[in-house]
Structure formats: structure tokens, C-alpha cells
């Protein structure tokens, strides 16, 4: 049994999610500091998800046909660093739009490839994924909390300057990692498309899309939502940190979780908890204690959901097919689902400052949970 290079894999996750820890909570505030209104911010943030429709699948398709697929990972990281540097310039909406298109396209090509790289080392030991991925959550929480304290005293306009070193670390991490020696696809193995069109796989992708749509108001406007209810930047960072701290605990326990429960049951619980979380956020945003409780459920409705999705993808698409599957998964769920979620958030935001957006998110998560329960019952009867 080959040794898994856990430290090198973990370092890459740390750098990637540290950068995301600066982007997700604070980028909308940075865009606001550049003079963009809610409608413009919704459009710009939707590019983060829109590029996921084509970038992950196209880059992963190229990597899966390359003799050295890691070259595509490294190219994506280098281009992400170069394109992010554009935000140091004083750009107006048009400039920000172009910069976001380029940056998001190359940035969104990175993680699906690295997920496939990680799973190539884990092989049949995919239950160990959580203990490596958790270092991404640690990077996220370190940056989101630290930057929140910084922005109590420094203008949010400094955000790109502070983030740039994180992308330098990401480039270094890409050159420190490589794929495991992957076996050739066995003769007679069903092609990727035949795996993709199975009923249970299509149901899984549909449920994952709905889950991502429900996260739209959170990823697009949660920081603005809390700010308009009187929370300081350090408090914003603290709330994001609470969610990721709970996520870290879940990832550490993920191997034991999947040893006890089927990934589909974990997915069902995650979706049900998401519905409750968004409804609580919609109805009681001024209650600091309940907001902290809602954020703590991130352990279930993000970490457990994500780990379950990775486990199911490894089961549905073994071997070299997994890299292509990762691209399709990110493109469909995070891409199309993310665009729809950002659009939903922007469309409903003007009604009552976010309340309707989070209520709708809760309803979508509840619908996904019902679909998951029906799929689980169908599978149980078939078994």
C-alpha cells in the first residue's frame, strides 16, 4: 500500500481555502467599496459561479487526456495569481467585470483537478478524505477571523493586496504535488457517459444543484446582510469562523461517520439542516446567539454534505473517470446552481433586504431533502 502524501495535499487545501476565506466573506464588501450597488455586486458575484459551468469540466477533460495532468493544475494556479493581480488596479464596473471573468474562469478550474489528484492517492481509502480536506477549513478560519480583525482598523479596499500572497502560496503548493501513478482504464470498462446517465447518478446531480442554489443568498450577501443589521467587520469574521470551526470538527470525524452511516443518509440530514439554517437566518438576524447557532450547523449543511458528495462521486466514478466527474459536478452544481442562487439572491434582495431570499433558500433546501428521501427510499426498496 503506497503512502499518501498527506502533508503536501493538506498544504494545498490550506492555501486554496485561505484565499477563499478572504474572498467569500469580504469580496462583496470590497466591491461595495469600489462604488458598486447591490445589482452590480449580484452580477459580478454570479460570474464566480457562471464560470464554473464550463471551466471545471473543460479543464478536467483536458487533464484527463494528458500524459501529465498536473500541468493543467499548475497552469491554472499561475494564471489565477496573474489575473488576480488585476484587482490591484482602480477598475470601474466594466473593468471589474472583465477581471472577474478571467480570474474566476481559471480559479474555478483548479479545485476539481486537485480533488481528483487527492483521490488518486487515496484510492479505496476515500474515507480518509475528510482528514486531509480539513486543513482547507483551518486555512479558511485563520484568514476569515484574522482579516475581520484587520478590517476593523483598515479599509476593505486593501483586500486584494492582503490576498495576493495567498495565491503565491497556492502556486507553490501546485508545484509540490503530483498525481499518484494512475492505472490505465481497464479494457471493457464502461465509458464515462454510461456512468453519468444512470438514474441514481442523475438524481444525485439534481439534488446537489438544489443544495447549491440554496446557498446563493449566503455566499452572495451574507456579510452585507449582517452588516445592515448592525454587525461590525470583526463580528462578520467571527460568524464565518464559527461555521468553519464546526466544519473542521466534522471533517475530522468524517471517517467514523461514513463507517456508521451511508453517504446518502448523511446527505439527507445535511439538506434538512440547511433548510432550518436559512429559515432561522431569515427570521431572526438580530439575535446574535441564534445566528451563532445557525452558523454552527455549517458542520452538517456544508461539511457533511460536501464530504458525502465526494464519497458518492468516488463510488459512482472510479479510477481515471473521477477527474472528469469532478469537473462535471463542479460545473453543474456549483456552476449552474451557483448562478441560479446568486440570481435568486439578487432578485429577492430588494423586497425586504434579504429576508425573502433566505426564506426561499430554506424552501429549496427542504425540497432537495424531500427528493433525497424519496431517492433513498427507492434505493432501499430496490436493494
Model confidence at 185, pLDDT cuts 50, 70, 90, reads very low
Most confident of 162-176, 198-212, 252-266, 342-356: 162-176
Average pLDDT over residues 308-315: 86
CATH number of the domain within which 350 lies: 1.20.1250.20
pLDDT level of residue 6 (50, 70, 90 thresholds): confident
Q: What is the pLDDT of residues 51-64, one digit of tens each?
A: 878 877 777 777 76
Give domain status of residue 196, yes or no. yes
Burial 313-328 (b: 16+ CB within 10 A, else e): bbebbbbbbbbbbbbb
Residue with cell 497556492: 170
Residue 80, in any domain of the structure: yes
Mean of all residue pLDDT scores within the chain: 85
How many domains, the chain?
1
pLDDT at 1 over 60: no
Cα–Cα distance, 297 to 93 (Å, whole number): 36
Give yes or no for residue 123 having a pLDDT over 80. Answer: no
Q: What is the pLDDT of residues 354-379, one digit of tens each?
A: 899 999 999 999 999 999 999 888 77
How far apart are alpha carbons 280 and 363 in whole angstroms?
Answer: 12
pLDDT at site 103: 95
Length of the chain: 383
| The pLDDT value given to residue 320 | 67
In a domain, 288, yes or no: yes
In a domain, 287, yes or no: yes
How do residues 22-39 score in pLDDT, each as one tens digit?
998 889 889 999 989 878
Q: What is the mean pLDDT of residues 319-331?
A: 75
Q: Does the global pTM surpass 0.75? A: no
Q: Is residue 374 domain-resident?
A: yes
Q: Is the pLDDT of residue 189 over 60?
A: no
* Contact assessment for residue 224 and residue 32, using Cβ atoms and an 8 Å cutoff: yes
Q: What is the pLDDT of residue 186?
A: 42
Q: For residue 73, what are the domain limits?
A: 6-179+191-382
**For residues 337-350, average pLDDT:** 85
Is residue 186 situated within a structural domain?
no
Q: Is the pLDDT confidence value at 2 over 70?
A: no
Q: What is the mean predicted confidence (pLDDT) over 261-278?
A: 93
* Residue 364: predicted pLDDT: 97
Average pLDDT over residues 124-148: 81
In a domain, 112, yes or no: yes
Instruction: Give the sign of the dihedral formed by CA 44, CA 304, CA 332, CA 376.
Output: negative
CB atoms within 10 A of CB 33: 14
Q: Is residue 184 part of a domain?
A: no
pLDDT band of 380, cuts 50, 70, 90: low
For the beta carbon of residue 185, count every other beta carbon within 10 angstroms: 15
- When pLDDT is averaged across residues 68-87 and rounded to a whole number, the result is 92
Amino acid at each position: 500500500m503506497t503512502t499518501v502524501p498527506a502533508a503536501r495535499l493538506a498544504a494545498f487545501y490550506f492555501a486554496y481555502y485561505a484565499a477563499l476565506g478572504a474572498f467569500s466573506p469580504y469580496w462583496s464588501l470590497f466591491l461595495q467599496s469600489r462604488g458598486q450597488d447591490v445589482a452590480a455586486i449580484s452580477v459580478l458575484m454570479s460570474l464566480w459561479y457562471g464560470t464554473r459551468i464550463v471551466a471545471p469540466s473543460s479543464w478536467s477533460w483536458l487533464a484527463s487526456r494528458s500524459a501529465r495532468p498536473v500541468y493543467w493544475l499548475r497552469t491554472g494556479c499561475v494564471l489565477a495569481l496573474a489575473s488576480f493581480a488585476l484587482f490591484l488596479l482602480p477598475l470601474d464596473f466594466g473593468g471589474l467585470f472583465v477581471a472577474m471573468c478571467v480570474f474566476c474562469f481559471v480559479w474555478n478550474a483548479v479545485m476539481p483537478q486537485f480533488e481528483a489528484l487527492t483521490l488518486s492517492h487515496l484510492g479505496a481509502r476515500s474515507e480518509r478524505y475528510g482528514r486531509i480536506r480539513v486543513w482547507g477549513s483551518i486555512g479558511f478560519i485563520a484568514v476569515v477571523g484574522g482579516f475581520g480583525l484587520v478590517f476593523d482598523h483598515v479599509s476593505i479596499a486593501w483586500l486584494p493586496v492582503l490576498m495576493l500572497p495567498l495565491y503565491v502560496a497556492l502556486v507553490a503548493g501546485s508545484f509540490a504535488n503530483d498525481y499518484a501513478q494512475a492505472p490505465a482504464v481497464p479494457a471493457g470498462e464502461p465509458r464515462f457517459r454510461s456512468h453519468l446517465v444512470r438514474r441514481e447518478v442523475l438524481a444525485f446531480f439534481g439534488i446537489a444543484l438544489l443544495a447549491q442554489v440554496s446557498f446563493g443568498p449566503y455566499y452572495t450577501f451574507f456579510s452585507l446582510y449582517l452588516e445592515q443589521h448592525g454587525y461590525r467587520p470583526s463580528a462578520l469574521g467571527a460568524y464565518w469562523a464559527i461555521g468553519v470551526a464546526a466544519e473542521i470538527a466534522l471533517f475530522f470525524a468524517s471517517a467514523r461517520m461514513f463507517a456508521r452511516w451511508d453517504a446518502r443518509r448523511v446527505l439527507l440530514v445535511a439538506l434538512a439542516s440547511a433548510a432550518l439554517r436559512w429559515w432561522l437566518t431569515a427570521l431572526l438576524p438580530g439575535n446574535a446567539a441564534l445566528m451563532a447557532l445557525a452558523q454552527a450547523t455549517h458542520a452538517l449543511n456544508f461539511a457533511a454534505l460536501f464530504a458525502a458528495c465526494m464519497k458518492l462521486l468516488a463510488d459512482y466514478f472510479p479510477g481515471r473517470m473521477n477527474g472528469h466527474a469532478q469537473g462535471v459536478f463542479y460545473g453543474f452544481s456549483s456552476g449552474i446552481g451557483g448562478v441560479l442562487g446568486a440570481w435568486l439572491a439578487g432578485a429577492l434582495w430588494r423586497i425586504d433586504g434579504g429576508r425573502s431570499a433566505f426564506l426561499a433558500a430554506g424552501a429549496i433546501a427542504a425540497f432537495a431533502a424531500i427528493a433525497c428521501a424519496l431517492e433513498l427510499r427507492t434505493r432501499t426498496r430496490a436493494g
